[in-house]
């Protein structure tokens, strides 16, 4: 059994993480990066649209990502990735071959809904 690498969080620390539901409204190959990735724009409802990059090319095609709801962290500081400023972190499970499976709601839910 793999050990947790970091210390345990308090409830207040966990509640400070802004995990929200969003819908991918655009996705395209991110040609300017070293590792295969997509550039995406995600609609978070009242929290606006956010740009990001995700290394999810092993399991997903850009066409099938459009309209998919995902979970992302919105309150990380923006990060420059090649020629875009990433504004959120899309969440997924990382498999043995470094393939990422996106975390998504079981059914359609309003964009911007908080996860907690």
pLDDT of residue 3: 65
**Mean of pLDDT over the chain:** 94
For 2-55, write each residue's pLDDT tens digit: 666 678 889 999 999 999 999 999 999 999 998 999 999 999 999 999 999 999
Superfamily for domain range 11-108: Nucleic acid-binding proteins (2.40.50.140)
Q: Is the pLDDT of residue 111 over 60?
A: yes
For 64-74, write each residue's pLDDT tens digit: 999 999 999 99
Those residues whose C-beta lies under 8 Å from the C-beta of residue 60, and which sit 6 or more positions away, are 38, 102
- Residue length of the chain: 116
Please state the domain extents for the chain: 11-108
HEC profile of the chain: CCCCCCCCCCHHHHHCCCEEEEEEEEEEECCCCCCCCEEEEEECHHHCEEEEEECCCCCCCHHHHCCCEEEEECCCCCEEECCEEECCEECEEECCCCCEEECCCCCCCCCCCEEC
Higher pLDDT, 5 or 56: 56
Do 50 and 66 contact (CB within 8 A), yes or no? no
pLDDT of residue 7: 80
């Amino acid at each position: 059994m793999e050990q947790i690498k970091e210390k345990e969080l308090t409830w207040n620390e966990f509640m400070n993480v802004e995990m929200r539901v969003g819908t991918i409204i655009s996705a395209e190959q991110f040609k300017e990066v070293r590792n295969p990735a997509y550039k995406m724009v995600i609609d978070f409802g009242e929290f606006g649209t956010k740009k990001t990059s995700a290394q999810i090319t092993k399991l997903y095609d850009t066409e099938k990502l459009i309209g998919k709801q995902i979970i992302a962290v919105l309150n990380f500081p923006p990060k420059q990735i090649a020629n875009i400023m990433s504004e959120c972190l899309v969440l997924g499970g990382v498999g043995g071959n470094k393939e990422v499976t996106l975390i998504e709601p079981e059914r359609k839910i309003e964009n911007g809904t908080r996860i907690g």
